[in-house]
Amino acid sequence: VPTKVSENILTLNDVFISVKTTHIFHKTRLDVILNTWFRLARNQTYFFTDADDPKYNTISGGHLINTNCSSSHNRKALCCKMSVEFDSFIASNKKWFCHFDDDNYVNVPRLVQHLRRYNPLDDWYLGKPSIKKPLEIQDRDSKKKKVRFWFATGGAGFCISKALALKMVPIASEGRMISVGEKIRLPDDVTVGYIVEHILSKQLTVVLQFHSHLESMALLPNASLSEQISFSYSGNGSNRNVLSLKKSINKSLDPTRFYTLHCHLYPDLCKPNT
Ligand code: UDP
Ligand code: MN
C-alpha cells in the first residue's frame, strides 16, 4: 500500500523547541516571546530555567521546566541546562530538537518549512557559526594534537535530527554533556559542536537564515525578513542591536522590535486584543 504523502510531511508537532532562560529574565524576556511567536507553537515550545515560577508556568501552559541547574552564568550551569533540554527532547520522541535562547524570535512556520528539506532519520546538525574558521583547541587527551571543529552559535538557534540525537545519547544524555563541557572547558553550544563534529565525525550544515545578535540585525532587509528563521536583539541605549523595520510600533513600547516583527510577518495575528 503506498503511503500517503501527508503521512511523511513534517509538521510542527514533529519539532521540539527548547528555549534556555534564567529566572531573572522571565519578566524581561519571556513576555515578548509569549505574546508573539510562542502563540504559533504553544504545544511544541518549552522553557528551561533555574527556578520555579508558577506565574510563567501557568502562562506558558505548564511549559516552564525548572532544570534545577545552578542559576549562575557559568559553563557548568549552562551545559547543565542544555543537557536537560537534550534529555527532554529524547523523552519527547519527536523528530527534531531545536534550541534557542530567550532573546530569539523564532519564525515558526519558516523553521518547519526549512526542516522539511532534510530527513530526520539521517544525521543533521543545522545552525550558523559565528566565527569564520573552525574552532581550534588543544586535545586534552593527546596534548600535542589540535582538534578543529565547527559549532552552531546557541544564540542563533540550532537543530539536531532525531537520528543524530540518538547517536549523541551515550555521550550527552543524563548529564554526560556537563562532563564533556568540563573536559574541554568551553560553553554549551561549543560542547554540542565538539560532540557532533569531533566525537561523532558529523558535519554542521550551515543555515544562513539563523541569526544571533553577534550579527547586525539592522542589516537584514525588510523584504527578506519572512524568509529568515530566527532573530535576536541586544544592548540598550545607543549600543542597541535590533531589527530595523520601516513600519514600526513605538520603540519605547517595543524595545526588542519583536512585536513589530511579529506584526510585519503575521499582520492577521497582531490586531489589538488578539
Ligand atoms: N542564561 C542563563 N543563565 C544565566 C545567564 C544567561 O541560562 O545566568 C541564558 C539566557 O537566558 C540566554 C542565554 O543564556 O538564553 C544567553 O544569555 P545572554 O543573552 O544574556 O548573553 P549572551 O551570551 O547572548 O551575551
Ligand atoms: Mn543573548
Asked whether the ipTM of the predicted complex exceeds the cut of 0.90, the reply is: yes
212 lines ligand 1 (CB under 6 A): no
103 lines ligand 1 (CB under 6 A): yes
pLDDT of 4 higher than 70: no
Any bridge partners for residue 138, and if so which? Answer: 146
Task: Enumerate the active-site residues.
Answer: 189
Q: Could you tell me the pTM of the whole model?
A: 0.95
The predicted structure's pLDDT at residue 85: 98
Cell of 268: 492577521
**Residues in Cβ contact with 42 at an 8 Å cutoff, skipping those fewer than 6 apart:** 61, 63
Per-residue exposure over 226-259, b if at least 16 CB sit within 10 Å of its own CB, e if not: eebbbbbbeeeeeebebbebeebbeeeebbbbbb
| Ligand 1 pocket mutation, candidates 101, 190, 214, criterion most atoms within 8 A of CB | 101
114 lines ligand 1 (CB under 6 A): no
Q: Which atom of ligand 1 approaches the CA of 73 most closely?
A: 8
Q: For 170-179, what is each residue's pLDDT tens digit?
A: 999 999 999 9
- Taking a 5 Å cut-off on Cβ, the residues next to ion ligand 2 are 103, 155
Q: Rounded to whole angstroms, how far apart are CA atoms 122 and 161? A: 7
124 within 8 A of 201, measured Cβ to Cβ:
no
CA of 156 to the centre of ligand 2 (A): 9
Q: For 217-256, what is each residue's pLDDT tens digit?
A: 999 999 999 999 999 999 987 889 999 999 888 888 999 9
The predicted structure's pLDDT at residue 247: 85
Cell of 98: 531545536
101 lines ligand 1 (CB under 6 A): yes
Q: Rounded to whole angstroms, how far apart are CA atoms 63 and 45? A: 7
